Amino acid sequence: METGLQDLRLNPAARVNLRRIGREGNPVIVIDDVFVEGDAEALADYAASAAWAPPETTYYPGVNAALPSIYLQTLAPVLRPTFERGFGLPANARLNAYGFFALATWGLGRFGPLQRIPHYDQPNPRSLAMVHYLCKGQGGGTAFFRHQATGYESIDAARREAYMLTVADEIERDHQRLINFAGPTTPNYEMIDQVEISFNRIVLYQSHLLHCALFDGARLSDDPKAGRLTANTFYAFG
């Protein structure tokens, strides 16, 4: 039985900003001060005492823990109109959501070549990704990219095969140049926008956008009170 966090109150003064990025004009939504003062801190405290473990089905470079059920129960219904207006998603479709706390802990040496370049989560523009920053005093953030050879800033099903073939060739050719975390100096990519970390800030974007977490400047730690703590959620419209 879940204990410890029974209520999360949304902030009526939360600030919502819609930006259009890159040549494709893909929407990215940033929401600041999502929960009222004290409740975001309570959520971070809940994470600090959660049961953390390496993920079994993703390539996340760290550990994950379960979100309290009240988190999605509170956010999903309120965010749905924003999904529909900001991303043009259907009002009558079923909305599925799942999420987890995430704590980045890997050093650069553990990253393989594919983890040192931007990525997309799913080649589906009807799927959304959400990162909720629950850490203070951290550098970095979330960045978005254009792939130089193809010009792609997003990868849908029609683009996926050609893009992946090109990336495989680039990694074979340039793997010795992949000496840093993904970011503004990554070979074959141009960083077109970024959202900096700010406590109690949400960034929302379609899962097919080329993006990455910016780990340069982040304090990576296995202590949720000191490290790069986020709540990561994925929404899919059926």
Structural domains present in the chain: 16-132+141-230 (2.60.120)
d(C-alpha 186, C-alpha 34), whole Å: 32
d(C-alpha 207, C-alpha 73), whole Å: 21
Question: Mind listing the pLDDT tens digit for each residue in 86-130?
Answer: 999 888 888 999 999 999 999 999 999 999 999 999 999 999 999
Sheet arrangement for strand 127-133: 15-21, 26-32, 201-206, 127-133, 228-237, 95-104, 62-65
Confidence of residue 1 (pLDDT cuts 50, 70, 90): very low
pLDDT value for 3: 53
Question: Mind listing the pLDDT tens digit for each residue in 175-188?
Answer: 999 999 999 999 99
**Chain CA centroid to CA 27, Å:** 14
Query: Of how many residues is the chain composed?
Result: 238
pTM of the model: 0.95
3-class DSSP state of 109: helix
d(C-alpha 24, C-alpha 26), whole Å: 6
Question: What mean pLDDT is reported for the chain?
Answer: 95
The average pLDDT across 204-226 equals 94
Hey, what are 179's tokens? 């000496």
pLDDT value for 218: 87
Q: Calculate the dihedral angle through the C-alpha atoms of 101, 60, 181, 152, rounding to the nearest 10 degrees.
A: -100
The average pLDDT across 151-167 equals 98
Closest CA to 202 of 65, 7, 8: 8
The average pLDDT across 129-143 equals 95
pLDDT value for 2: 52
Task: Evaluate if residue 132 carries a pLDDT over 50.
Answer: yes
